Amino acid sequence: MSRSRSSDLNNSAPGAGSNPREAPKRPMNAMDGHTEDRMQSQLATGDMLHVLAYLEECENEREDTIELSAPNPVFRMAMHLIKGHLEARITTPTSLIAAANVPYATANRRLRDMIDAGMIDQRPRTKTGKSFSMHPSEKLLDQWARLSGRVRRLTETYFGSDTSAAEDRDYYFGGSYMTTRSIPPIQVLPEPLKVAGGIRVLVHGDPTFMVMENLKRQFEQVIGSDIHQRAFSIDRLREEALRNADRKTSRYDIIALDLPWVGEFASKGVLMPLDDAMDVERLDPADFHTAGWKATHWGGRPYGVPAQTTPELLFYRRDLFAKAGLEPPASTDQLLEAARHMHDPKKGRYGIAWNAARGTALGHTFLMTLADFGQPVLDLPEVAGGFATKDLATRRHRITIDTDKGLMAAEYLLELLRYSPPDILSMSWYERVRPFAAGKIAMAYGYTLLAPYFELDPSSPAFGQTGYLPHPHGPGAANVAPVGGYVMGIPANIAPDRLPAAAEALRVFTSAEAQKLYVQNGSRTNPRYSVAADAEVRRASPLFEAVDAMSWRDELQFWPRPPVPQITGIIQVCGEEFHDMLRGLIPPREALQRAQQRAEALFA
């Protein structure tokens, strides 16, 4: 997807951006960037492509070895069709006939039989409708998935197996597609989207949206239209979205927004209510993590679809904790004790890293830390499992920063400072996770979308050794995993003739099939229960099972950063005042008072 990069992506957030060039990719030792991109693309469909290669070789051997053996044109065309779909290549009737390896007339008849049997979907390539691209139908994809499982089972039955090779065979023969009900590969739309100039998308420059960029060809084939994507850092993204809302007609069909902006964008008319744009039930709302889906609402109406649900968690080195005989920290006191034990600057290792850079980064940290001590930044009504957010659009709220729990949160940050790296006050987003991945930090607060920095790098000391926890809680409080991530919505000023295509593209980009594809290509965010339950997704990372469990335990919460229109200002205020506190310029009480007064002024 073509895009314009903002010059300030280096200091952006993942719930807050970074330079897209630095988005983590699966390490491919000594390979150049083009080779690495190709390898990543293959990983997305590796299981089924391996099955294809294996069966194609078997078919070649059968035809070449057994006298009087005839090619099977249906089987060969099916293999060619599925391979083209998985590799995002256009397949035409001519190429299918050539792949059949039989005379033209025979291949043409068999091709017609496959179309009549519902194995192949045809999509017009031209306005005249005389030229078609060919795509595997859902029926054929399902048949191929079942065949993959049978091949694996038969191979193990007749050629034996040993435990040590079980995982390799499972990958090679595509067996994971057959465990329970796996999410199938993404399927092309029956009709291409008709929209002048293609679908235009404004996104954040983080790893998940860059995965979408790397999958440009595949998604263009799915929707039958070009896709143009612009990526910005978190602050530039908000500015561009607000600037776009002032235009007579939107430059974009779909825009991404940070979860806390929902209230502001809804109340300012930046976004169209989702139920005005499409049939919301087509999105399968019940499949989204509850906190992520509820966070897209304002005044009882949805304004977007969760594209990423990426809670901030505590990453910790399981091997270092085991060696030290320490239990994973459940409370803030236990975390500080662990950080003290692990902190050894003389050996180049520090206890913990976190967002402490001035402004947006530290502002997010303070709000989340306040939640760790059991208090939101607004006087939200307390309910079972947290705090109520359903009246955010109608109830006038009071700022609750200068409180006893606010003081506890501020003093906790000062304690963290003692066990942090010397450059902690300039650390934001990616800077806190890179040293964790390099083995210099024992613990780090980080969004799940940052996990590829160590999960996909076998050379990282944290590779395979990282545990995932919700935020440790303060006295009398409960564990919380503050939900972050991005929502995708439709601009309120979109040209009416572009709305149907935009709504359909939005559904495709946020579907379970698309989310699984992002995970297979390196993303570590996921907003859907069904994707987290998929066997291949669970095999990709222990993170998904951990987050799924947190969701079921009601630990995923978005009230720590309530999406009121003033939230961006509140975050900025906290990020400035508490940075002065951490620098030793003002004491905690003064920082609380100043932040309280400045935040109250935002509601005047």
Phi, psi of 435 (to 5 degrees): -65, -30
Tell me the two tokens of residue 274.
């989702």
Q: What is residue 250's predicted lDDT score, i.e. its pLDDT?
A: 97
Within a domain: residue 549?
Answer: no
Tell me the two tokens of residue 322.
């085991």
Q: What is residue 356's predicted lDDT score, i.e. its pLDDT?
A: 97
Within a domain: residue 157?
Answer: no
d(CA 352, CA 499): 47
Q: What is residue 71's predicted lDDT score, i.e. its pLDDT?
A: 81
Domain with residue 371: its CATH number is 3.40.190.10
Within a domain: residue 10?
Answer: no
| pTM for the predicted model, two decimal places | 0.72
**Tell me: the pLDDT tens digits for 507-523?**
999 999 999 999 999 89
Residues 526 and 590 in one domain: no
Within a domain: residue 1?
Answer: no
Tell me the two tokens of residue 320.
């270092």
d(CA 414, CA 603): 29
Q: Is the pLDDT of residue 525 over 60?
A: yes
Q: Within a 10 A sphere around the Cβ of 346, how many other Cβ atoms?
A: 5
Within a domain: residue 60?
Answer: yes
Q: Is the pLDDT of residue 376 over 90?
A: yes
Tell me the two tokens of residue 99.
């792949």
Residues 329 and 270 in one domain: no
Q: Is the pLDDT of residue 416 over 90?
A: yes
Helix (H) or strand (E) holding 37: helix 33-43
Q: What is residue 283's predicted lDDT score, i.e. its pLDDT?
A: 94
Q: What is residue 160's predicted lDDT score, i.e. its pLDDT?
A: 57
Mean per-residue pLDDT of the chain: 85
Tell me the pLDDT band of 22, cut-offs 50, 70 and 90. very low
In one-letter notation, the amino acid at residue 28 is: M
Phi, psi of 536 (to 5 degrees): -65, -40
Contacts of 29 (CB under 8 A, 6+ apart): 459
Report, as an integer, the average pLDDT of 30-40: 35
Q: What is residue 54's predicted lDDT score, i.e. its pLDDT?
A: 75
Tell me the pLDDT band of 175, cut-offs 50, 70 and 90. very low
Contacts of 556 (CB under 8 A, 6+ apart): 289, 290, 291, 292, 309, 311, 481, 483, 547, 550
In one-letter notation, the amino acid at residue 362 is: L
Which domain does 206 fall in, by range? 199-309+486-533
Q: What is residue 64's predicted lDDT score, i.e. its pLDDT?
A: 73
Q: What is residue 467's predicted lDDT score, i.e. its pLDDT?
A: 97
Residues 349 and 461 in one domain: yes
d(CA 235, CA 246): 17
Overall domain count for the chain: 3
Residues 589 and 453 in one domain: yes
DSSP assignment of 537-593 equals HHHH-HHHHHHHHHHHTT-EESTTS---TTHHHHHHHHHHHHHHHHTTSS-HHHHHH
Domain with residue 126: its CATH number is 1.10.10.10
Beta bridge partners of 462: none
In percent, the amount of the chain with pLDDT more than 70 equals 85
Residues 218 and 108 in one domain: no
Count of residues in the chain: 604
Within a domain: residue 30?
Answer: no
Tell me the pLDDT band of 19, cut-offs 50, 70 and 90. very low
Q: What is residue 151's predicted lDDT score, i.e. its pLDDT?
A: 75
Q: Is the pLDDT of residue 566 over 80?
A: yes
